[in-house]
Structure 1
Amino acid sequence: MSFSVEERGRPNTKEYRVFFKNSEGKYISPFHDIPIYANESENIFHAVVEVPRWTNAKMEIGTKDPLNPLKQDVKKENLRYVANVFPHKGYIWNYGAIPQTWEDPHHQDSDTGCVGDNDPIDICDIGNKVCSRGEIIKVKVLGTLALIDEGETDWKVIVINTEDPEAGEFHNIDDVRRLKPGYLEATVDWFRRYKVPDGKPENQFAFNGEFKDRDFAINTVKSTHEFWKALISKQTSAGELNCMNTGVSNSPFRCSSEEAESVVKSTCDSGPEDPVPSSVDKWFYYE
């Protein structure tokens, strides 16, 4: 199973979008049409890379847009770039999401006591390769961190790309601690502090910021898949989410390939990228 992307609009503008296609060249939703499993029997999942490592642009699956293309988050009418909080340069992993998952904002998690954040579940890929924006990778789940973001549960699942030459050495969260010393501590530090330059307080965590193991993480991913199933079949309210898809059987939101193509063609043509603001290279320091 292979996928490709098509850019529309000019990068570093509010109109920029990254649409997805399947192996037949037909447009699909990365949220709804890419299967959660790459290999279900071995618990290997697909992941959509939204933000390549070391970059700053806060790209995300457009959950409220038709076909859910990648787009850059906007805050206060400005494109959002994550600050460099010393010693971290941009994102310190390939950051993305597992398709066909949903953190239900109507469900209060029994472990964290908070509701879901209304997004697909997030992943942090610790592999060596710096992926490209929109790349679909196959990942092995190693553990998870429970970020509490403004009263919502925002799971961060630690994964490694199965194509990484070291993937065979990683089986659980303790392997990350042993083989990549300091990486888990840096991950907690990054999520705790990344919003501070925007004037917000440090983020908090469930479980005192401790990582849960592989089995816990896999169960968490699978539970968000069940929430997504209810969403895509209209058994629960979608709210502002756009569930348009081209390949989910029996989904009331399913559309034709022609309808999907018209969505893409209605967006801006691709063009040269705008310059990135010089402020993106600024470093922030605090204890």
Structure 2
Amino acid sequence: MRLPWRRLLAALSMATALTVLPIAATSASATTGPAPSSGWNDFSCHPSAQHPRPVVLVHGTFANGNDNWLVFAPYLVARGYCVFSFDYGMLPGDSLIGGLTPIAQSAQQLSDFTDRVLAATHAAKVDIVGHSQGGMMPRYYLKFLGGAAKVNTLVGIAPDNHGTTLDGLTALLPYFPGASDFLNAALPGLADQVAGSAFQQQLNAGGDTVPGVHYTVISTKYDEVVTPYTTQALSGPDVHNVVLQDLCPVDASEHVTVGTTDLIAFHEAANALDPAHATPTTCLSALG
């Protein structure tokens, strides 16, 4: 007989996986291997005067560095950016699905990859755009691993900046003895994202932001994974929080599509990367 807490964990995992796995393709990418678009993960790329900082893209949970960015990476390349992505947080023996190991370890992988990008491009700093966990995890890098000296802008698309309740499912964990311990042992990258977890408390203690970094958070009120969606917003002196439906009321993107295919969200992210040349984000931004 299966234990009740195992049913809960199955529900938690499925609730997340069913909304995120559609962005995973059938074949994996190498950690820093060639991406399927010219100019993406091209380590011979040198930033232009117009876009002097390379952009590092950070995928979400249950995703990888290629499949999460099949639309957004070419979008940025077409605008003249040097764009890089990588895989992180993969369990032993898995080369397709990431974001599952302890987030502090994933942040170290981001640190190492950023150093490689800076060395290759000879840039002084990078900009980071992340989706879901990929919008939250870099904050650990900025706060605890020296990333603030190497990052100009962090854009989080549907980031779980203060954890998630998964529409209340995580509140049931204390009622199932052993469930939290099992989740921490088997899927620590998920456990770290539960609202109120030790990781979330450490990440957000002393304030959401660090000096010298520009922050943008793009959320959607239809997010069914990072809930409540209002917890995605950051507090700080150099923060721009925006809800997608305030830019285009008819945009129905949820957690996955806002970070993988939504051109309105991508336009707002591009504005954050180059605020001096920003143009209004509207429903017409969906036309590219």
The TM-score, its normalising length taken from structure 1, stands at 0.28
Higher relative contact order, chain-length normalized (CA < 8 Å, sep 6+):
1
